[in-house]
Amino acid sequence: MTDESGAELWKEHQSAFDRVRAVAVTVSEPKPADWIAEQAHVAGNTARDHLQRLVEMNVLRTATGGTATRYEPDPLYTRMQALRDLLDNRTRDDLLELRGDLQEQVEEWKTEYDADSPSDLREQAAHADTAEATREMRRTANDWDIISYRLQLVEDAIEHYSDYAGSTPAPA
């Protein structure tokens, strides 16, 4: 299948709004409407209309600076979606197990690198003896940031499980 036929299938099976949302919520840095439009295979005006609606829905936010309005995922929306995903796919016991696994990984990095945080590890990377050691420490620090964020989400889900899960059925 060519890229062109993939785009045609996407257009056939997803609305323009859904394609714009799919592109916009996955960007890692703010992007202008024209870039999002190109990726979503829609006209620029169509993208701008849908992006504005997504901003009003608090799914996206606009980024300041530059000449064109740029869009990025709203971090609160992203956090709530991640919490919902945890609650929809895990029981409280599963969350406790995941918390332990994440804590164990952080403890291993603290011991292995004698660092208390990703920032400490990045500082060590700045003084590493080899390029490979620098790269490895930076990769680990980035992973540590991700694990720390995930751990915060899991702890939030555990702490408020009964409030957040509500009537959500637990997985079998």
- The pLDDT tens digits of the residues spanning 63-101 come to 977 788 999 999 999 999 999 999 999 999 999 999 999
C-beta of residue 75 within 8 angstroms of C-beta of residue 30: no
pLDDT at position 168, please? 47
Q: Is residue 11 predicted with pLDDT exceeding 90?
A: no
pLDDT bracket for residue 3 (50, 70, 90) = low
Q: Is the pLDDT of residue 167 over 80?
A: no
What are the residues whose beta carbons fall under 8 Å from the beta carbon of 11, sequence distance 6 or more? Answer: 19, 41
Contact at 8 Å (CB) between 144 and 121? Answer: yes
Residue 163 region by backbone torsions, left for phi larger than 0, else alpha for psi between -120 and 50, else beta = alpha
The DSSP bridge partners found for residue 72 are 61
56 found inside a domain: yes
Same domain assignment for residues 59 and 137: no
Residue 33 and residue 63 in one domain: yes
The Cα–Cα gap between 50 and 80 comes to: 21
Q: In the sheet where 31-32 sits, what is the strand order? A: 31-32, 70-73, 60-63
Is 171 a member of any domain? no
Both 52 and 106 in one domain: the answer is no
What percentage of residues in the chain have a pLDDT greater than 90? 83
CA distances (Å), 86 to each of 3, 4, 27, 80, in order?
33, 35, 21, 10
Within this chain, do residues 81 and 161 fall inside the same structural domain, yes or no?
A: yes
Residue recorded with tokens 């919902």? 84
Residue range of the domain that includes 30: 3-73
Task: Give me the number of domains the chain comprises.
Answer: 2
